[in-house]
A and B are shown apart, each in its own frame.
Chain A
Amino acid sequence: MSKELLRVEGLKVHFPIRTGGILIGQYTPLKAVDGVSFTLNEGETLGIVGESGCGKSTLGRAVLQLIKPTDGQVVFMGSELTGVGAEVIRQKRADMQIVFQDPLASLNPRMTVGDIIGEPLTVFFPKMKAEERKEKVRALMAKVGLLPQMINRYPHEFSGGQCQRIGIARAMILNPKLVICDEPVSALDVSIQAQIVNLLMDLQQEFGLSLMFISHDLSVVRHVSHRVMVLYLGKVMEIATRDAIYAAPLHPYTQALISAVPVPDPDIEKNKQRIVLGGDLPSPMNPPSGCVFRTRCPRATDICAQEVPVLEEKAPGHRVACHHWGLPEQKLV
């Protein structure tokens, strides 16, 4: 049994949004993350899927304490991160890093690649000699597939895929335990996506990394993840092992998501009966009562409008939040 690295319990991030007039000063909470719980083991990848605005990025940032959670607990390597001083978090941050979606925008345009990748070393090991730092940076550049002789170049001289390699090298330089990948391949071309996915999986193997892999691409998530968590409007709909999520999803939203994925196979794609959900995502400012998915759910009944379904274990290691959970009635892919 591998060791638990991260435990998140009842995590909430509510952004106060001004809704009244300027003088009245009325605020409504936008519940970006609303009571999320999960664990992550050493060397494990947890895929996090859901549509735009469901709180994936906010969750990632709240775990790293880049955003202060409104409520709930984050326990990392046995110590509590919520409600502790800035210095404690700073120390822990060496072990938790993040890779962002937009490769170029996330890199400082005025810094050389060497300085960008080496910056965490400057922060955490200010006494390290410049030459030693450069040596570490060069070694890592080679490892992530960048030419070490490009160490003095600037980000704009690199392609999107290369910028993502720079971002990954920077995240890896302190040899962290956890890397949160926030849509790391979404902005990349198909042919480059596979390169970056392979790189992340190779690094995980070599260093025993744990990954939180945030993505809206269910095919990529299946490829990289050991377990998968499905979010909708800030809440966990379902969490289970990869095989359970894809072969036997129990939540109607997960089923619709899987069925929505276009498959690059004309015979399958042209003949498939897709589950098409009605309507649009509700505003997170004004989520539906009861189950947040009920306005689009094909199985919704009266109880769904009245009672919030609790996330409960329905099969070993398989938790679902739905009053009418069960296997899909049709073939999904």
Chain B
Amino acid sequence: MTAVLEVRDLKVRFATPDGEVSAVNGVSFDVNEGECVGIVGESGSGKSQLFMSVMGLLAKNGRTLGSAKYRGTELVGMPVKALNKIRGDKIAMIFQDSMTGLTPHLRIGKQMTEVLVQHKGMSEADARKRALEMLNLVRIPEAGRRLAQYPHELSGGMRQRIMIAMALLCEPELLIADEPTTALDVTVQAQILDLMADLKTVTKAAIVLITHDLGTVAGLCDKVQVMYGGRFMETGTVQEIFYKPAHPYTAGLLASMPRLTEERQEKLYAIPGQPPNLQRLPKACPFQERCTYVHDRCIDELPVLRQVGDANATLTGHTKACHLVSLQNPVSAPHAPSINVAADEARSA
């Protein structure tokens, strides 16, 4: 497999009047050709800032440490001019709020053709033809008429589709979608998810789907990376993450969601406590304050990502950042993820 994006030990820091915010705290991963990777986590876990930093789009008070390579070319610290050649052409991004992704005072047609003229050197007429094709691909009704409209004249669902169409215009190799359906109504969300599932097979782009919604991930992604406190807690295939979660946080998240596909339970499992404060992250495991299975080692030693079931292997396949050896039956007994603390042998010794 060839990696489109290789991220190594990436960190994001924000300077604020009341101290430094550690939004992303050393994450490493690859996105391979044709793959759809889900990044899940709660609000503030660092999902968006991780990719904003990869794209060179951090706010002024933010800085990136570590490395992010697009096809071997380092993106961190790349001059804006060179970055602009890659952004929107090789790597495209879709945002949660379709208004931020579109320019309000430009007609849809103009916004779309401009990109093609700029990045691909197309003629105005060819660009227009291609724009129309893309609008049809994302199933915009009366596509021709839409080219003359302004973003605010369209519904939220339609704008989101236009953003997707714009992102796909230059046939990017990597598409980053940040909460693409979160702001939409359920039935409109269903339309967009349906569209994205089809696009996955039509385009060859690798897709990164950033979301807090595990249901969306289950339907679209091949691989999943679960974030908490700016770190990856667990990574694996969708099958591994949803059917064999190995980290107490992942298991807890899955257990706390009521599901239409299961018998209704009298009580929901709830993870206790609050998400961590990124200005005062605990020294070792970021989940320690909420974890039912916390023990001395969790407070002293930062758990790093290790292969599940093989404490010596790193960064291959199903990995978790947790000192426990195994979590038992978290899915078959979703209301109390039972975890084998006793078996936590000194495996790193």
Interface residues of A (CB under 8 A from B): 51-52, 159, 161-162, 189-195, 197-198, 201, 216, 218-220, 222-223, 242, 246, 256-266, 268-270, 274-277, 279-281, 296, 333
- 12 extra interface residue pairs, beta carbon distance < 8 Å, beyond A191-B253, A197-B258, A268-B261: A51-B188, A189-B43, A223-B264, A223-B265, A242-B264, A256-B190, A263-B218, A266-B238, A266-B242, A274-B190, A280-B157, A333-B260
Write the chain B residue with the least CB distance to A218: B260
B185 interface residue, CB < 8 Å from A? yes
Residue of B214, B219, B256 near A193 (CB, 8 A) is B256
B56 interface residue, CB < 8 Å from A? no
Number of residues on chain B facing chain A (CB within 8 A):
47
Known A52-B185, A194-B271: A258·B219 in contact at CB below 8 Å: no
B191 engages A277 (CB within 8 Å)? yes
CA distance A269 to B222 in the complex (A): 13
Q: Which residues of B contact A189 (CB under 8 A)?
A: 42-43, 212, 275
Provide the B122-134 mask, 1 if CB < 8 A to any CB of A, else 0: 0000000000000
A190 engages B187 (CB within 8 Å)? no
A194 engages B256 (CB within 8 Å)? yes
Write the chain B residue with the least CB distance to A259: B190
CB contact list, B238-260 vs A, under 8 A: 238-239, 242-243, 252-254, 256-260
A198 engages B268 (CB within 8 Å)? yes
Q: Which residues of A contact B269 (CB under 8 A)?
A: 194
B59 interface residue, CB < 8 Å from A? no
Q: Which residues of B contact A162 (CB under 8 A)?
A: 274
Q: Which residues of B contact A279 (CB under 8 A)?
A: 141
A–B Cβ pairs within 8 angstroms, 18 of them? A51-B186, A191-B290, A194-B269, A195-B272, A198-B268, A198-B270, A219-B258, A222-B258, A223-B264, A256-B187, A256-B190, A260-B190, A262-B193, A262-B218, A263-B215, A264-B254, A276-B190, A280-B157
Q: Which residues of A contact B155 (CB under 8 A)?
A: 280-281
A190 engages B256 (CB within 8 Å)? yes
Q: Which residues of A contact B252 (CB under 8 A)?
A: 191
CA distance A189 to B188 in the complex (A): 22
CB contact list, B100-156 vs A, under 8 A: 141, 155
CB contact list, B175-191 vs A, under 8 A: 185-191
Q: How far is the CB of B262 from chain A (nearest CB, A)?
A: 9
A261 engages B158 (CB within 8 Å)? no
A264 engages B214 (CB within 8 Å)? yes
CA distance A258 to B259 in the complex (A): 11
Known A195-B270, A198-B268, A264-B254: A246·B218 in contact at CB below 8 Å: no
